[in-house]
């Protein structure tokens, strides 16, 4: 992600791109014609694409933690993955599209968080600001900052993140757990 925030127009472009990509993949007719993206959107970037029902239920969420390809390509690939390859859900069908909302979160580079024990970790986390990535051996998981809305307690947030990583819920207290944080620019359909 670039140092300067993306504009609302750039965010709208990414949302339109994600929706059009999914629509094309399910064979739905789309009259969306996107102009050439701005240079900032063709620079390397990392993004998550989240799909929700109009009621707000999660329907798919897949993303990248590291910028390894142009941001527009990352959004396109993660839109397909969120719609068709999230193992928690069946693939999205064309009939569902009108009832889905799309959210694109563009990530900053994850930075290791230095902390001295579990109490210090709890103190250094910033709810609703930081996305959190934990790693221990082959176990790895992340929660976007938006997850703080459902899990506002840092202890509960970390316990659920450990569970997602395939670790015991108290693994956030272990001294060998690696923790990184990042922030996002979030764009969502109205």
Chunk the chain into consecutive blocks of 10 residues (it has 190) and report each block's average pLDDT, rounded to whole numbers: 80 96 88 86 97 95 96 98 97 95 97 97 97 97 96 97 97 96 96
- CATH number of the domain at 148, please: 3.30.1490.150
Q: What is the span of the domain harbouring residue 16? A: 8-107
Has residue 190 been placed in a domain? Answer: no
Out of 52, 84, 107, pick the residue that ends a domain: 107
pLDDT confidence of residue 183: 97
Query: Tell me, what's the pLDDT at 50?
Result: 98
Are residues 99 and 115 both part of a single domain?
no
Verify that 100 and 14 share a domain, yes or no: yes
Please tell me whether residues 115 and 91 are part of one structural domain. Answer: no
Is the same domain home to 19 and 92?
A: yes
* pLDDT on residue 159: 98
Residues 102 and 123 in one domain: no
Same domain, 66 and 129: no
Residue 2 lies in a domain: no
Residues 147 and 95 in one domain: no
pLDDT of residue 15: 97
Same domain, 83 and 28: yes
What pLDDT shows up at residue 110?
97
Are 132 and 92 contained in the same domain?
A: no
Residue where a domain stops, chosen among 87, 107, 127: 107
pLDDT, residue 114, reads 96
- In a domain? residue 3: no
Q: Kindly state whether residues 120 and 153 are assigned to the same domain.
A: yes
Pair 43, 117 in one domain: no
3-class secondary structure for the chain?
CCCCCCCHHHHHHHHHHHHHHHHHHCCCCCCCCCCCCCHHHHCEECEEEEEEECCCCEEEEEECCCCCEEHHHHHHHHHHHHHHCCCCCCCCCHHHHHHEEEEEEEECCCEECCCCCHHHHHHHCCCCCCEEEEEECCEEEEECHHHHHCCCCHHHHHHHHHHHCCCCCCHHHCCCCEEEEECEEEEECC
Domain count, the chain: 2
Residues 53 and 86 in one domain: yes
């Amino acid at each position: 992600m670039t140092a300067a925030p993306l504009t609302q127009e750039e965010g709208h472009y990414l949302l339109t791109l994600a929706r059009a990509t999914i629509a094309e993949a399910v064979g739905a007719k789309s009259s969306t014609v996107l102009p050439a993206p701005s240079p900032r959107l063709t620079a390397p970037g990392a993004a998550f694409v989240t799909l929700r029902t109009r009621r707000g239920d999660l329907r798919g969420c897949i993303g990248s933690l590291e910028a390894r390809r142009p941001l527009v390509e990352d959004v396109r690939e993660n839109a397909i993955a969120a719609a068709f390859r999230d193992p928690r859900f069946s693939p999205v069908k064309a009939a569902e599209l009108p009832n889905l909302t799309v959210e694109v979160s563009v990530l900053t580079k994850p930075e290791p968080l230095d902390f001295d024990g579990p109490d210090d970790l709890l103190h250094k986390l910033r709810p609703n600001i930081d996305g959190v990535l934990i790693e221990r051996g082959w176990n790895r998981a992340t929660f976007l900052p938006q997850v703080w809305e459902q899990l506002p307690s840092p202890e509960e947030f970390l316990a659920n993140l450990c569970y997602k990583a395939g670790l015991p819920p108290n693994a956030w207290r272990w001294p060998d757990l690696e923790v990184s944080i990042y922030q996002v620019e979030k764009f969502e359909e109205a």
